Amino acid sequence: MSAYLYTWNPNKWDWNDQQDAIYRVNNGDQYDIYWSCGVTKRIEIGDLFFLMRLGVEPKGIIGCGYVSSQPYSLPHWDEQKAAEGKSALRTDLLFKALSENPIVSLTYLEEKYPKRKWTPQAGGLSIPDEIAKELFSVIQDNRNYSFTPIDKKKMQLFAEGKVKSVTYKTYDRSPVARQACIEHYGYNCSVCGYSFEEAFGVIGAHYIEVHHLNQIAHVGEEYLINPKTDLRPVCANCHRMLHKTRPPLSIEELKTHNKKIKRTS
């Protein structure tokens, strides 16, 4: 199986959805998002990937999983370059292991494989089979991050199913839409103002759930979600209360309800 090194530099791109991604992966939920693969076009569905955190300490491999799409072009991730009309290749990545801190440190990689470049300027760097197998074994031997491997045939089926259920124009429950929503509204609950970071400190930083104002089941397949008008960040408690009724309560309805409760208590 071919394997590739992808990169993430927090100084260049704020991964607002990272904490939710870690939560979902750790609980066996599906999490896939598109990621820049540099100029590499030969990447195939089912190839293994390792995600390297660079730019800030601690540096090292924080994620692992499978490529879930062929490379495709989108507007450049750098806003200035995108404004100039430039594009960049992406592939979708299905994460099976993900951590805030390195699972495999950069120091370990540089000491064990000194002839390899572990700090590339762009992702999509091919990893030799023998090294990829060793890195995969290191992750699989760590019971905190080990996972059941997926063969290429199953990944092809996963990719085909994803294409059928999510068209190019449909955000669906995409992490991309969550990213845009959180970038616009921040991490405080839109109903009660709750902040996970204020309540739990570092462990709660950069975490919030996202609520769909219009339920996906009630819209057409080609409905394009606008993250600023159709999504809102909410805490876990308010999220569940919004969905206590069918159709769900609106943000304003739950706010009004909460005010009434406070006045009578």
Give the model confidence (pLDDT) of 160-169 as tens digits: 777 654 444 4
pLDDT tier at 101, thresholds 50, 70, 90: very high
Q: What is the pLDDT of residue 241?
A: 92
pLDDT tens track for 132-154: 999 999 999 999 999 999 999 99
Tell me the pairing of strands 3-8 and 48-53: parallel
Q: How many Cα atoms sit within 13 Å of 212 on the Cβ side?
A: 16
pTM for the full predicted model: 0.74
Range of the domain at 155: 3-165
State how many domains the chain has. Answer: 2
CATH code for the domain of 101: 3.10.590.10
pLDDT tier at 215, thresholds 50, 70, 90: low
24 and 107 share one domain = yes
**Among candidate residues 142, 165, 188, the one where a domain is terminated:** 165
Number of Cβ atoms within 10 Å of the Cβ of 24? 16
CA-to-CA dists, residue 59 to 36, 92, 143, 155, 176, angstroms: 19, 23, 21, 29, 24
Q: What is the mean pLDDT of residues 172-191?
A: 83
C-beta separation of 47 from 3 below 8 A? yes
89 and 27 share one domain = yes
- Say which amino acid occupies 235: C
68 and 153 share one domain = yes
Per cent of the chain over pLDDT 70 is 91
98 and 124 share one domain = yes
85 and 214 share one domain = no
Residue 170 lies in a domain: no
